[in-house]
Structure 1
Amino acid sequence: MRHVFRTTALAATLCVAASLAVAATAGADTDWPVFGGNWQHQRHSELTQINVHNVNRLEPAWTFDTKVSGSFQATPIVVGRVMYVSLPFNGVVALKADTGEEIWRYIHDRIKSRPMCCGPANRGVAVENGLVYMGTVDSRLIALDAQTGKKVWDVDVTGGEQGVHEDADTLGKDLNTNGGKMTVAGTSGAGINMAPMVVDGLVIVGITGVGYGLHLDKPDPNAPLGEVVGIAGKYGRRGFMAAFDAKTGQQVWKFDTVPATGWEGHFRKTTPDGVPLPRNIAQEKRELNKYPDAWEYGGGSAWSTPAIDRENGLLYFGTGNPSPQMEGSSRPGDNLYTASLVALDVHTGKIKWYYQQVPHDQWGYDVASPPVLFTANIKGKQVPAVGEAGKTGWFYAHNRITGKLLYKSDSFVPRKNFFKKPTEAGTLIYPGVIGGSNWSPVSVDEQRRDVFVAGIHWPVRYTLHTLPANADHGELKYSSMAPTDDGQRYGILSAINLDTGKLRWQHKVDQPLIGGVLSTASGLVFTGLGEGKLIAVDADTGKQLWAGQADAGVNAPPVTYTVDGRQYVVAAAGGNKLFGYQTGHTIRAWALPAP
């Protein structure tokens, strides 16, 4: 579903913004109209002006200073020669796509009384029928006029219900904070990180931040990732994915990622693909009645922008970890539908199937990377497929109609002590809570038969602690998971065969990869680095061909498009505070020298 988008009136252009354009001819414009480039989320462009032979000639085309510093994760949307980008803390700018000149700016009036659950980052907007749609860190869905940036409507998607905190503050005072060198943080504030999708008059978004876990944060603001703490109890709330009327913002349907009945599931002893899990099933069943309301706090954030199969009327998205994070004693059972890939009817929100990658997750293995649609060749048959790059370090491919697992790929990251429990001495685990593959979107090149995955190798230490009894509580055991500081971390860009799941090549970089991938028909794969570079590698070999410098970490998904026949490659350079990557506030565009 790829079409050429020529410059016309804005409203007409928006109506046909269904997929990424084919190679541009002289004077033509090619858009990036939706989050994943096309409905399938393939992040693959048919543009060939920039290729393996001339990519080393790329030069800066323009730079836009947003003047807003913070973790910058947005995918730019380009429609009708205009680029729309959501900024940290939910500002939005509209820019001229060929020069980066600002057209308008929206400044978000955040509800200060609500905790910002997951940092300031937003992953993008949707543009349709003359409106720009954005989900916010304070759990609102907003529609802006695409020509002026003026707010058209504003809906509170949670109705102010942010989550339950029980006695977290009291417990936090007693945690082992490494001699007071770390500070206790953590809330269950619900927000929206994902870019919305608009289909058939519906705007679809989900909430995040509901998989409760306390954090021990280092005082150094540039230090990467503190400890994540899991404590049994009634913390958090359940997540949801919902659809709203695109004209009015009225809710049409809502799917709760944790069901009110049956969330205990089948008490699986293994993952669905057969990997043993360290569960005491008999004990979980005995204690099930002790926690009848555990589902109310069940977690299951909706992290990933859904991919939509318009022909079959299905949408696909991933869910987060159950709540409380890591500690499973107060939530016996499989904890459906957390840590799952879920398929819904796009018009009603009714569940069609789910695949729980990790039942009763105790490691923070959210299904965070957005799903991608493609056609797989399985034993000589063409099968409509949906794939997802897991924090577990495998790429999962399913029959997108039935949910049947077609294959689980070769591991694209090293692994050790996978699915092991915490110990008092600390168990070294990889991949851990960071991934695998984190929220970074993949790219699919169906001609080369490859999916390109941004991977992370960063060991974590999983430790069991005892909280002594005091006047507020009895003796409690809790666990913590902390990334290692021994320098044993790096990133891996992998090419995986779409039909077999076999690794074809890997390109190793110095720092964990977070941000996303773009591929082109000319044989290029682009991804950003935390050290402040956008790189291009050969899609056939994985050899690096080019690097473009930015002034902060390039930890957002790159896109490509043309204006007047000139191809641009663009990414936000705002870094990532959690990973220790230098934060900044620019959007960078590269192109070949003008003729």
Structure 2
Amino acid sequence: MKIYIALFLLFSASVYALDGEGLSQDNCASCHENKNLNLISLASMSYYSQSDLQNVLEKGKMKSQAQDLSKEQIEAIARHLSKGETYNNAVTYNYCKQKLSSDLLIGSSWTSWGYDAFNTRNQTNTNIDASNVKELKLKWSFGIGAEEVRAQPIVIGGLVLISGSDVLYALDKKTGCVYWEFQSKARLRNAPAFDVLTKDALYAVDTDFIVYKINVLDGGLIWETIIPKDKESNIASGSLIQIDKLLFVPISTYETALAINPKHECCKSSGGMAALDTINGKILWNHRILDEAKFIKKGLLTRTKKYAPAGAAVWNAPGVDVEDGRVFFGTGQSTQSPASEFSDAIITLDISSGKKLWSTQTLSGDAHNVGCEIPVVRSMTCPEENGPDFDFGASVIQSASIKGNKILFAGQKSGWVFRLNPQNGKIDWRKRVGRGGTLGGIHFGMATDNEKLYVPISDRQVGREYDMGPQPGLYALDFEEGKILWSYQLDDICQDRKALHGEGYCTVGFSAPISVANNVLFAGSLDGRFSAHSTATGKKLWEFDTLREYKTVNEYPSVGGSIDAAGPVIVDDWVFMNSGYSQHGQMAGNVILAFSNKKIKE
């Protein structure tokens, strides 16, 4: 999935030596103040700390773009754009009075990003249904020191685990008080995973591919392992999952963003999947999806070397079928021409060896990088094929057909849904549900109750020509033929709706993953509304507008914004939802919301 984030600098060093405002305007504004590029606004960056921004510029995604700036100039930009180092000083931790015990871990849980190993996002152990969903009320909120709350929480009985920037928090489900915090060495941008076998530990991976095994009762480190980066631009973005004594970690790459620099030798990195032993953290195998990139030619104007194949990032949480010994997932677009046969594909690996069992590509010739979106550099950086960037950002779901046969469902940013045979990758049927686009179509995730497939459609306008109008909404599909059983069309309320922090703007669509519980479907929209719908008809049963200010339990100033990337988490009488996502020019926010049925005692 394309990273549209943070094009902090374009090319040249500013003449304003230490003038942070001048440097920012000179190097950042031409991209970040251009709404057509769908980037985070300069104002929204104030949720970052100065050290966060410096790290991005010196070591992270924007290192290539910042190469002509001095350390002092980078510090000046970060100091001007950020909120400084105020987050830890502003937070008042409401620590729990009682020590966390194993008894609290008993009960309804949501143990990983997709709820289960098949990524169904279907909670079966909950009291919430269509008859009482209207009684859900906001019980507490927790503020995160970031411009977005990208990482989805998980819940183990009475314990809520939330990633905020570089800290993993263990909170009490009923009150939001803090049991412990775990400090990672780099940013946590995905959901942790609970050890469903031993039930005493959890796993997290940061953006530098440091994998942590953590004691769930006290937050103590059990072991840590570094997965070696094949290329500097590789990043851990998709969520990991633990099954038996195996931990699977998806491997992505942000090289698509580096390609905006005409001097960058695009592209050499590849997506992948790694498997670790949960007992000791040993890396069992590390599958690189693409062959090592080779020189193909030089750019006409810059004479910069170009390499392929590259791309095929894995942005989504993998699914695992232990019985059949399979790990399955979707891949992103190629970042250089010629496009690989393994980009925009559903891939299945052998669980023991990591060897590829089969690959099914749904769109060929999709070579695209962020340079294609920037008019001034497009001719120098965009691949010849200039594909539509229709990768698989959503996790692949496994279920069973009416005859009891195993089946896979995959949703693509093109707006198409595919049903596949998990044994050989053959496509049983395909159905176009949305118009599609670089931000979906189907962006972050579908859900199923193993009777219907539920599909959220974003269809955001991103400045290109389309062959049909947008279809933002929720859709229920029949398992056997892909027939649309019902649809809920999202209304446009964005005309008078503005971000409460920064200069992001309201957009229409369902981009975030959705979740199901009994006969209710929960969905968050890009305009900030969080709603519940009947799985029988799609009718809206309940709604909460998250675009507001919050008095959080940790007393950190917090607002809601666009809902994206993370989906609803449901356990017994509780529902948890993130609000705020400033990427792609959307509305910033920094809050996690806890809802419960009003019958629950305070």
Please say whether Structure 1 and Structure 2 have the same fold, judged by a TM-score greater than 0.5: yes
SS of the aligned residue for 1:212 comes to helix
SS at match of 1:40: coil
Matched, 1:340 2:384: no
Change (3 A) 1:51 1:200: closer
Q: Secondary structure at the match of 2:134?
A: helix
The answer to whether the Cα contact below 8 Å between 1:317 and 1:370 also exists between their aligned partners in 2 is yes
**How far, CA to CA, are the matches of 1:590 and 1:579 in structure 2?**
31
Q: Deviations over 1:65-85 (max 9, x none)?
A: 3x3222223332222421212
Q: Distance in 1 between matches of 2:101 and 2:287?
A: 33
CA drift of 1:210 comes to 4.6
Cα distance in 2 for partners of 1:100, 1:544 equals 28
Tell whether 2:168 aligns with 1:123. Answer: no
Question: Using the alignment, how far apart are the partners of 2:127 and 2:401 within structure 1?
Answer: 28
* C-alpha RMSD of matched pairs (Å): 3.1
Q: Does 1:442 align with 2:446?
A: yes
1:92 alignment partner, SS class: strand
Question: Aligned partner of 1:258: which letter?
Answer: L
Residue 520 of structure 1 corresponds to 517
1:537 to partner: Cα distance: 1.0
Stretches of 4+ aligned residues off by more than 3 angstroms: 9-14, 213-216, 229-234, 291-295, 459-463
Specify the code of the residue in structure 1 equivalent to 2:459.
Answer: H
Give the conservation status (yes or no) of the 8 Å contact 2:434–2:471: no
**Matched-pair contact (CA < 8 Å) for 1:210–1:239:** no
Q: Which amino acid aligns with 1:513?
A: F
- Tell me what 2:434 maps to: 413
* Separation (CA, whole Å) in 2 of partners of 1:450 and 1:245: 35
The 1:203/1:230 distance shift into structure 2, 3 A limit, reads: farther
Aligned to 1:42, what secondary structure does the other structure show?
Answer: coil
**Cα deviation digits, residues 336-377 of structure 1 (max 9, x gap):** 322111111112111111111212212211111001110123
SS at the partner of 1:382?
coil
Residue number among 576, 582, 593 corresponding to 1:587 in the alignment: 593
Counterpart of 1:104 in structure 2 is 180
CA distance in 2, matches of 1:230, 1:578: 22
Mapped to 1, the partners of 2:158 and 2:183 lie a distance apart of 22
Matched, 1:494 2:475: yes
Give the alignment partner of residue 191 of structure 1, picking from 235, 253, 260.
Answer: 235
Q: Give me the whole-angstrom Cα distance separating, in 1, the residues matched to 2:250 and 2:344.
A: 15
| 1:49 positional shift | 2.5
CA distance in 2, matches of 1:248, 1:145: 14
Alignment partner, residue 399 of structure 1: 421
Label 1:126 to 1:497 Cα distance change in 2 as closer, same or farther (>3 A).
same
Work out whether 1:250 is the aligned partner of 2:282.
yes
- Residue in structure 1 matching 2:112, options 34, 47, 57: 34
**2:3 aligned partner:** none
Report the residue type matching 2:249 in the other structure: V
Shift of 1:321: 1.3
Give the aligned partner of residue 85 of structure 1.
162
Q: Does 1:570 align with 2:576?
A: yes
Partner AA of 2:128 in structure 1: I
Task: Please identify, of 573-582 and 140-149, the stretch whose mean Cα deviation from structure 2 is larger.
Answer: 573-582
Give SS of 2:394's match: coil
Label 1:530 to 1:235 Cα distance change in 2 as closer, same or farther (>3 A). same
Q: Which amino acid aligns with 2:478?
A: N
| Cα drift, residue 590 of structure 1 | 3.0
TM-superposed CA distance for 1:293, in Å, is 9.1
- Determine what percentage of the aligned residue pairs are the same residue: 21
Structure 2 counterparts to residues 52-67 of structure 1, below 5 A = 52-65=130-143, 67=144
Give the one of 243, 247, 253 matched to 1:203. Answer: 247
CA contact (8 A) 1:72 1:574 kept: yes
Gaps of 5+ in 2: 1-99, 298-303, 367-386, 493-507, 549-559
1:247 to 1:202, Cα distance in 2 relative to 1, 3 A: same
Could you give the per-residue CA deviations for residues 393-417 of structure 1, whole angstroms, max 9, x where no partner exists? 11111111221111112x2113xxx
Distance across 2 between alignment mates of 1:356 and 1:560: 33
Distance 2:137 2:599 in 1: 7
In terms of fraction of residues, the more strand-rich structure is 1
| Distance in 2, Cα, partners of 1:90 & 1:104 | 14
Amino acid at match of 2:215: D
Any idea what SS the aligned residue of 2:434 has? coil
Checking the alignment, whether the CA contact within 8 Å between 1:56 and 1:546 is kept in structure 2 is: yes
Structure 2 counterpart of 1:372 = 397
The alignment status of 1:532 with 2:532, answered yes or no, reads: no
Matched with 2:145 is 68
The secondary structure found in structure 1 opposite 2:583 is coil
Secondary structure in structure 2 of the residue aligned to 1:302? coil
Is 1:489–1:512's contact at 8 Å kept on the other side of the alignment?
Answer: no
1:228-267 counterparts in 2 under 5 A? 234-260=266-292
CA contact (8 A) 1:94 1:104 kept: yes
Distance 1:13 1:207, change over 3 A: farther
Indicate conservation of the 8 Å contact 2:420/2:429, yes or no: yes
CA distance in 1, matches of 2:475, 2:212: 36
- Relative to its length, the structure with more helix (as a share) is 2
TM-aligned CA deviation for residue 538 of structure 1: 1.2
SS across alignment from 2:401: strand
- C-alpha displacement at 1:150, in angstroms? 2.7
Whether the aligned pair in 2 keeps the contact of 1:575 and 1:582 (CA below 8 Å) is yes
Partners of 1:61 and 1:591 within 8 A in 2? no
Letter of the 1:144 partner, please give it: I
Counterparts of 1:412-431 in structure 2 under 5 Å?
412-414=433-435, 431=436
Say whether residues 1:136 and 2:141 are aligned partners.
Answer: no
Distance 1:196 1:85 in 2: 15
Q: How many residues align?
A: 441
Q: Is the 8 A contact 2:181 2:219 kept in 1?
A: yes
TM normalised by structure 2 equals 0.67
Contact 1:143 1:152 in 2 (8 A): yes
Return the offset for 1:593. 3.0
Q: What TM-score comes out, normalization by structure 1 length?
A: 0.68
**C-alpha distance in 2, partners of 1:75/1:512?**
19
Q: Distance in 2 between matches of 1:493 and 1:576?
A: 23
**Aligned partners of 1:240 and 1:502: how far apart in 2?**
33
Residue 138 and residue 383 in structure 1: after superposition, are their counterparts in 2 closer, same or farther (change >3 A)? same
Q: Contact conserved, 2:126 with 2:570, CA < 8 A, in 1?
A: no
Cα 1:11/1:405, change in 2 over 3 Å: farther
State how far apart, in whole Å, the 1-side matches of 2:244 and 2:112 are: 14
* C-alpha distance after superposition, 1:86-109 (max 9, x if no partner): 22x342111112222211112323
Deviations 1:152-180 (A, max 9, x none): 33332234x534xxxxxxxxxxxxxxxxx
Structure 2 CA distance, aligned partners of 1:404 and 1:209? 28
Contact 2:192 2:204 in 1 (8 A): yes
Deviation for aligned residue 1:544: 0.9
Match of 2:313 in 1: 301
Q: Is the 8 A contact 1:573 1:587 kept in 2?
A: yes
CA distance in 2 between partners of 1:236 and 1:190 (Å): 10
